[in-house]
Amino acid sequence: MECGSLETELIPPALIIVLAAVSGYFSLIETALIESHRGRLEKLSEEGDSDAKTALEMTESPAPLTVAQIGITCTGILAGVCAILTSPTIAAHLNLSIFPAAAIALCVTTFIFLLFGEFLPKQAAKREPEKFLLNHHKTFRFIVKIMNPFVAMLSTVAGGVGFIFGMNLTKNDTVTEDEVKDLIEQGTEDGTIEKSEQEMVGRIFDVGDETAYSLMTPRVKIIWLDLDDDLEKNLKIVQESPHTIFPVGYGSLDDCRGLIYAKDLLDAVLKSGRDINLADLIKKASYVPRTMESFRVVEKFRSSGITEAMVNDEYGGIIGFITLYDILSEIVDINSVEEPEHQFIKNKDNSWTVDGLCDIDEFKERFNIETLPDEEHDHFQTMGGFLTSRFGYIPKVGEIHDWNGFRFKVKEMDGVRIKKILIKEL
C-alpha cells in the first residue's frame, strides 16, 4: 500500500502524544525542584517525614534537575523526528507537497508539546511544588540513578569545554542581592512573609550600600559641649537635648577632646553638686572615615563595645557624628513616621521653601527626579550642598540658579552654609 497500513501511519502521532506526556512529567518535576520551598521541606523532615528528607536531598543536588532538563530536551528532539515521519501521511491525505506537510506536522507537534509538555505541567507544579515533589520523588529518584552515568559523562565533557573557553562550570553560584529580593517578594505574595518584613529587608540592603557620611549627623547639627563655657550653660544644653551622648571640645569641634555621657554627668552632679569638672568625665572618642560602609561601622561598634563615633574627612577634620541608633533607625524607618515639617513648606504661589539640610534623596523623591548632576562626583548629601556645587562658590542671599525646569533661589544663609532655599518649577 502506498501510505502503508493504518497501524503504521498511527505510530508517529501516537509516539508524539506519549513523548508529550513524558515531557510533561519532566517539566512537572523540574518546576517542583525549582519552586519547592526549602524551609517547608526541612520542617516536614524534622517532623520525621522520610519522603520530605529524600525530596530535600534532591533539591540540594544538581543531578535531578539536570536529568529533568535532559529528559525535556530529548523528548522534544524525538517528537520533532516523529513529526517529520508523519509528514508523508499528511501530504497524502491533504494532497500537499512534503514541505508544507512537514511544516503542518511540526506546528501541531509544537503546539501539543507547549500545551501538554510545558505550560499545563508547570502551572500545576507551581501551585503545589512540594506536594508534586513528595508524590513523585521515588520514581524520579530511580530515573536519576539510571541516568547518573550519562549525567556524569555530560558534566565531565561540559567541564572540559568550559575550561577551554575559560569558564569554571563546577563553581557554586553565589546568591545575589536581587535573587534574595525576588525570593522575599515571592514569599510576600504567597503570604509567608509580611509586607513590613519585606520592606525592612529591602532597607537592610539599602543601608548596606550607605556610608558613614550619608548616615551621620552633620557637624552643623551636632549638639556638643564647649569646655570654654561655664558648667551651668553646658548643663542646660544637656537638660534641653534629647540626646544622651555629647561630643566635647575647646572652642570648636576642631579641638574635640572626646565624649561625655549624660548618665555620667548626672551621677557626678548627684554626688558632688555643681562642684565638678567636665574634663574629668570625658571618654575617649572613636573615629571612622566618611567613606566607611555602614555595616563596617556596625562591626567596629560591635568589636570595640561602643555605639558612637566621630566622622572625619580625608584631612582629619570632623564632619559629623554617627551612632548605632542612626543606622538602626534607617533599617526600621523611624525617620519616615513623621517627616519634619520644616523640610518642605509649600508657599501660596506653589513654590517651596526647603531647608538647606534637606536630604537630596527626599528632594528627588518629592519632585520625581532620578539623579542630580555630579551627585556621585561631588559627594553632596543635602540640598544646600547640591546648590553650592551648582554655583561653584559660596552664594549670597538672592542668587538664582536654574536647572532641569527648576529655579533655585538662596533665601537665607547661615555663615557659609545655605540655610533656606526657594524652589519653583518653571
pLDDT digits (tens, 9 = 90+) for 208-239: 888 898 888 888 889 999 998 888 898 999 98
Which band of pLDDT confidence, cut at 50, 70 and 90, is reported for residue 6?
low
Mean pLDDT, the chain, rounded, equals 83
List the helix and strand counts (H, then E) for the chain: 17, 12
Q: Do the bridges between strand 308-312 and strand 352-355 make them parallel or antiparallel, or are there none, so unpaired?
A: unpaired
Predicted confidence at residue 149, as pLDDT, reads 84
Other beta carbons within 10 angstroms of residue 310's beta carbon come to 22
CA distances from 255 to 126, 237, 251, 344 (A): 64, 19, 7, 34
Which band of pLDDT confidence, cut at 50, 70 and 90, is reported for residue 334?
low
Predicted confidence at residue 75, as pLDDT, reads 92
Give the pLDDT confidence of 53-65 residue by residue, as tens digits: 888 888 888 888 8
Angle (deg, nearest 10), helices 50-60 and 38-46: 150
- How far is residue 359's CA from residue 299's CA, in Å, rounded to a whole number? 26
Which band of pLDDT confidence, cut at 50, 70 and 90, is reported for residue 3?
very low
DSSP string, 291-314: T-BHHHHHHHHHHHT-SEEEEE-T
Lowest-pLDDT choice from 32-41, 188-197, 256-265, 270-279: 188-197
- How far is residue 65's CA from residue 416's CA, in Å, rounded to a whole number? 64
Reference 300, options 286, 318, 320, 285; nearest CA is 286
Predicted confidence at residue 1, as pLDDT, reads 42
The identity of residue 334, as a single letter, is I
Which band of pLDDT confidence, cut at 50, 70 and 90, is reported for residue 7?
low
Predicted confidence at residue 321, as pLDDT, reads 94
The beta-strand segments (E) located in 33-129 are none
Which band of pLDDT confidence, cut at 50, 70 and 90, is reported for residue 2?
very low
Res. 261: pLDDT tops 90: yes
Predicted confidence at residue 170, as pLDDT, reads 56
Predicted confidence at residue 173, as pLDDT, reads 55
Question: Could you tell me the three cell numbers for 221?
Answer: 547639627
Q: Which residue has the higher pLDDT, 163 or 85?
A: 85
CB 381, CB 371: distance < 8 Å: no
CB 251, CB 225: distance < 8 Å: no
- How far is residue 110's CA from residue 115's CA, in Å, rounded to a whole number? 8
The identity of residue 34, as a single letter, is I
Which band of pLDDT confidence, cut at 50, 70 and 90, is reported for residue 375?
low
Phi, psi of 317 (to 5 degrees): -75, 145
Q: Where do we find the cell 533655585? A: 408
